[in-house]
């Protein structure tokens, strides 16, 4: 019964999406306000029905209803409740349902908070949202129905892939999808603007908070996925340049560019055509990411199913939306008026530079990700493009970007004073040089690139702080005055400071982890001691334990620091999941400041030793602390009064009678 309700609700949502996709457009064409307002109620009703559908699937999982194929294949009655719920999107069908739920959520949010949008713009935006939604409802209903029943229900399910039975599954996919799908709003706004042939600074003011929200979620989603891979896979790696990771990095890069170009558009009414293009590209890359991950062209933990019809269907959606929107762009972009002028050396110029490097870096990731697929189709050769490729292409493009980053906020709009900005960045530059010199002396003979990269990171952080010092007149005005100024600063300025500093912080973590990571790989017998990074780890013993749906083999290590004081106990384990006859490695982590000790278990050797991997990873936590700072900066910026979702202030007049614009 519940499955049928869920299925039926999804069909109704499709019907509503079809109404929402057509009626408002007709309404805008004949300038009928009543028809245009249909978009709002349709979007809200659609959200309601999708939530019913999603709730139904969740209920099926929670009650372990093994008459539903999807539940059989991905659940187990003994699975803890948390994983029963997160298992809903731990499979292809359910994750697509989550995708459309979030799409409907964003549509609903625009409908609910877009009361101050011009009526025709809102109608168009919601209609475009509904086009996307229609395509994905059809995809789910035709190729990936999560509510399919099985004729002879088994007594027990096949359990969820053990790697996915982790708290990470509760956070990573929803965050990532909020980011991916959130960019659909800026896409819809862009397409609506092209249809209307009208775009202004107010348009940018509406688009920016939505883009920012999506960007925050995507940043957190990527960071969470990276940390999850780090502790779950047992290799201590946090980024593999895997195509699936790249699929999420590409929209992030172009989304970051979009965020910055939207600022120029809002403040200076320039870069309109470019901003529209970026909005289209960003969501196109999100769709591409969905295609790469969901179609089964890539083998990874994310590719749940490899059914060719699904791949073809998503490819079709991809072609229609990307091709259609780009064609519309080519046709209509010239109708948009060019905006304000600016000198190359200005805030606008710096933001153009930012966009240039971000999109170029994004293009290199694009090539590195798709080249192997293209080559295989063309010549049949199988190649892998891994970290070396990206280190040689992506990294060199990020260096000038980071060098230029501190200058941006210090330059004035329209015409900037580069000499003045350099002068104000003197302190940051000196700090960077000192950091480089100290590191150079300390690690003499070691990697020469690392001190340079740390210097760059210090420059970025120092630059972000310089901007703050400059604006508050700290050190020049009395302290109390500076504090008052700091309080008076717009939150968006604080957001910039935090986000930019976050980039530097992440870079420090990345460089330290990759350069000064020490490891021990070997076999230990009980009582054996391994020394890594100045810490002595003693294997105290091996024990067995029964978990809810697995058996665990646990090793206990006592850890002593250089002085011989015991600082903690680490218990890495290996879990054997009977239902799937597979095992996972549960690494143990011991955090010291921002550094971590990392222990994961291998197999038991012939002579009774336990093989282990032990890593000491200096400042590794900064890698994820950086993105957290960026997201926090984004949140601050989002809470800026000027940018509050739904801004600007609605006029106090009867809206329903306004003629459509």
Q: Is 152 in the site for other proteins (CB under 8 A)?
A: yes
Residues 607-646 close enough to bind other proteins by CB under 8 A: 611-613
What order of strands is seen across the sheet that includes strand 595-604? 518-524, 610-617, 595-604, 588-592
Residues 86-125 close enough to bind other proteins by CB under 8 A: 91-92
Taking a C-beta distance cutoff of 8 angstroms, is the pair 638, 645 a contact?
yes
Residue from 584, 595, 596, 637 touching other proteins (CB under 8 A): that is: 584
Q: Which two tokens stand for residue 490?
A: 């717009």
Nearer to other proteins, 386 or 562 (CB): 386
CB of 259 to other proteins, least distance (A): 19
Residues 7-36 close enough to bind other proteins by CB under 8 A: none
User: Could you identify the residue written with the tokens 């003045």?
Assistant: 420
Q: Is 605 in the site for other proteins (CB under 8 A)?
A: yes
CB of 470 to other proteins, least distance (A): 27
Residue from 81, 379, 382, 527 touching other proteins (CB under 8 A): that is: 382
Residue from 378, 379, 381, 475 touching other proteins (CB under 8 A): that is: 381
Q: How many chain residues are in contact with other proteins, going by CB under 8 A?
A: 75
CB-side exposure of 414: number of CA atoms within 13 Å?
6
Residue from 583, 592, 645, 646 touching other proteins (CB under 8 A): that is: 583
Q: State whether the Cα torsion 130-134-139-140 is positive or negative.
A: positive
Residue from 82, 167, 335, 341 touching other proteins (CB under 8 A): that is: 341
Residue from 80, 323, 344, 534 touching other proteins (CB under 8 A): that is: 344
Residues 156-175 close enough to bind other proteins by CB under 8 A: 158, 161, 163-164
Q: Is 275 in the site for other proteins (CB under 8 A)?
A: no
List phi, psi (to 5°) of 612: -135, 150
Q: Is 549 in the site for other proteins (CB under 8 A)?
A: no
Nearer to other proteins, 72 or 511 (CB): 72
CB of 102 to other proteins, least distance (A): 22
Nearer to other proteins, 320 or 395 (CB): 395
Angle at the Cα of 502 from the Cα atoms of 600 and 105, rounded to 5 degrees: 85
d(CA 38, CA 51): 20
SS3 at position 548: coil
How far does the chain reach from its first CA to its final CA, in angstroms?
47
CB of 606 to other proteins, least distance (A): 6
Taking a C-beta distance cutoff of 8 angstroms, is the pair 622, 594 a contact?
yes
Nearer to other proteins, 69 or 501 (CB): 69
Taking a C-beta distance cutoff of 8 angstroms, is the pair 571, 555 a contact?
yes
CB of 590 to other proteins, least distance (A): 20
Residue from 301, 316, 426, 477 touching other proteins (CB under 8 A): that is: 301
Sorted by sequence, the CB contacts under 8 Å of residue 304 that are 6+ apart come out as 91, 92, 95, 294
Residues 512-541 close enough to bind other proteins by CB under 8 A: 521-523
List phi, psi (to 5°) of 310: -65, -45
d(CA 537, CA 556): 10
User: Could you identify the residue written with the tokens 């106990």?
Assistant: 569
CB atoms inside a 10 Å sphere around CB 175: 21
Residue from 393, 515, 517, 639 touching other proteins (CB under 8 A): that is: 393
Nearer to other proteins, 137 or 239 (CB): 239
Nearer to other proteins, 186 or 359 (CB): 359
Count of residues making up the chain: 661
d(CA 369, CA 318): 17
Nearer to other proteins, 392 or 477 (CB): 392
Q: Is 386 in the site for other proteins (CB under 8 A)?
A: yes
Nearer to other proteins, 153 or 490 (CB): 153
d(CA 420, CA 411): 8
Nearer to other proteins, 290 or 359 (CB): 359
What residues form DSSP beta bridges with 568?
559
Site string for other proteins, 56-85 (x = CB under 8 A): -------------x--xxx-----------
CB of 393 to other proteins, least distance (A): 4
Question: With helix as H, strand as E and coil as C, how does 567-606 read?
Answer: EEEECCEEEEECCCCEEEEECEEEEECCEEEEEEEEEECC
Taking a C-beta distance cutoff of 8 angstroms, is the pair 605, 186 a contact?
no
Q: State whether the Cα torsion 648-653-654-660 is positive or negative.
A: negative
Nearer to other proteins, 397 or 570 (CB): 397
Nearer to other proteins, 154 or 324 (CB): 154
Residues 396-455 close enough to bind other proteins by CB under 8 A: 396-397
Residues 38-57 close enough to bind other proteins by CB under 8 A: none
Q: Which segment (21-29, 101-109, 262-270, 350-358) binds other proteins by CB under 8 A?
A: 350-358
Residue from 327, 330, 367, 373 touching other proteins (CB under 8 A): that is: 367
SS3 at position 490: coil
Residues 205-234 close enough to bind other proteins by CB under 8 A: 229, 233-234
SS3 at position 220: helix
Question: With helix as H, strand as E and coil as C, how does 129-152 read?
Answer: HHHHHHHHHHHHHHHCCCCCECCC
CB of 473 to other proteins, least distance (A): 33
């Amino acid at each position: 019964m519940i499955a049928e309700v869920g299925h039926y609700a999804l069909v109704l949502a499709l019907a509503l999406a079809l109404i929402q996709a057509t009626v408002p457009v007709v309404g805008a064409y004949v300038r009928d306000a009543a028809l245009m307002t249909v978009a709002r109620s349709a979007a809200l009703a659609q959200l309601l029905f999708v939530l019913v559908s999603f709730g139904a699937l969740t209920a099926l999982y929670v009650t372990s209803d093994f008459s539903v194929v999807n539940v059989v294949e991905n659940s187990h009655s003994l699975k803890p409740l948390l994983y029963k719920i997160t298992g809903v999107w731990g499979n292809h069908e359910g994750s697509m349902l989550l995708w459309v739920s979030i799409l409907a959520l964003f549509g609903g949010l625009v409908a609910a908070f877009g009361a101050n949008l011009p009526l025709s713009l809102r109608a168009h935006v919601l209609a475009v949202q509904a086009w996307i939604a229609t395509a994905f409802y059809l995809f789910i209903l035709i190729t990936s129905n999560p509510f399919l029943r099985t004729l002879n229900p088994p007594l027990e399910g096949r359990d969820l892939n053990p790697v996915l039975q982790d708290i990470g599954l509760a956070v990573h996919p929803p965050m990532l999808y909020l980011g991916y799908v959130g960019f659909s709003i800026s896409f819809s706004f862009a397409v609506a603007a092209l249809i209307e042939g009208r775009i202004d600074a107010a348009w940018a003011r509406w688009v920016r908070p939505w883009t920012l929200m999506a960007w925050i979620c995507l940043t957190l989603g990527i960071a969470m996925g990276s940390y999850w891979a780090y502790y779950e896979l047992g290799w201590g790696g946090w980024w593999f340049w895997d195509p699936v990771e790249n699929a999420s990095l590409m929209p992030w890069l172009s989304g970051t560019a979009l965020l910055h170009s939207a600022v120029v558009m809002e403040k200076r009414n320039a870069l309109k055509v470019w901003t529209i293009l970026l909005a289209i590209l960003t969501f196109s890359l999100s769709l591409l990411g969905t295609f790469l991950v969901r179609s089964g062209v890539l083998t990874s933990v994310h590719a749940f199913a490899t059914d060719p019809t699904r791949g073809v269907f998503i490819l079709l959606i991809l072609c229609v939306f990307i091709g259609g929107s780009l064609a519309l762009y080519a046709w209509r972009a010239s109708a948009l008026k060019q905006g304000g002028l600016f000198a190359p050396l200005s805030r606008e110029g710096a933001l153009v530079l930012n966009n240039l490097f971000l999109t170029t870096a994004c293009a290199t990731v694009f090539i590195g990700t798709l080249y192997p697929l293209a080559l295989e189709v063309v010549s049949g050769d199988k190649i892998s493009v891994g970290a070396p490729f990206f280190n040689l292409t992506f990294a060199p493009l990020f260096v000038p970007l980071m060098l230029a980053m501190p200058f941006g906020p210090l330059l004035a709009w329209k015409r900037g004073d580069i000499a003045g900005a350099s002068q104000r960045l003197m302190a940051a530059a000196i700090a960077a040089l000192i950091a480089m010199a100290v590191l150079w002396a300390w690690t003499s003979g070691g990697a020469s690139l690392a001190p340079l990269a740390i210097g760059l990171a210090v420059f970025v952080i120092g630059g972000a702080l310089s901007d703050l010092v400059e604006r508050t007149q700290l050190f020049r005005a009395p302290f109390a005055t500076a504090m008052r100024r700091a309080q008076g600063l717009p939150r968006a300025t604080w957001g910039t400071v935090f986000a930019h500093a976050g980039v530097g912080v992440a870079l420090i973590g990345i460089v330290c982890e990759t350069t000064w990571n020490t490891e021990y790989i070997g076999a230990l017998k009980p009582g054996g001691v391994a020394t890594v990074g100045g810490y002595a780890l003693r294997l105290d013993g091996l024990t067995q334990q029964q978990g809810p749906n697995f058996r665990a083999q646990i090793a206990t290590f006592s850890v002593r620091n250089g002085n011989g004081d015991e600082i903690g106990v680490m218990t890495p384990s290996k879990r054997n999941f009977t239902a799937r006859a597979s095992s996972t490695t549960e690494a143990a982590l011991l955090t010291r400041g921002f550094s971590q000790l990392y222990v994961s278990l291998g197999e038991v050797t012939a002579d009774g030793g336990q093989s282990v991997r032990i890593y000491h990873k200096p400042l590794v936590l900064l890698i994820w602390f950086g993105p957290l700072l960026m997201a926090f900066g984004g949140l601050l910026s989002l809470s800026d009064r000027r940018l509050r979702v739904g801004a600007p202030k609605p006029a106090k007049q009867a809206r329903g009678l306004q003629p459509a614009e």
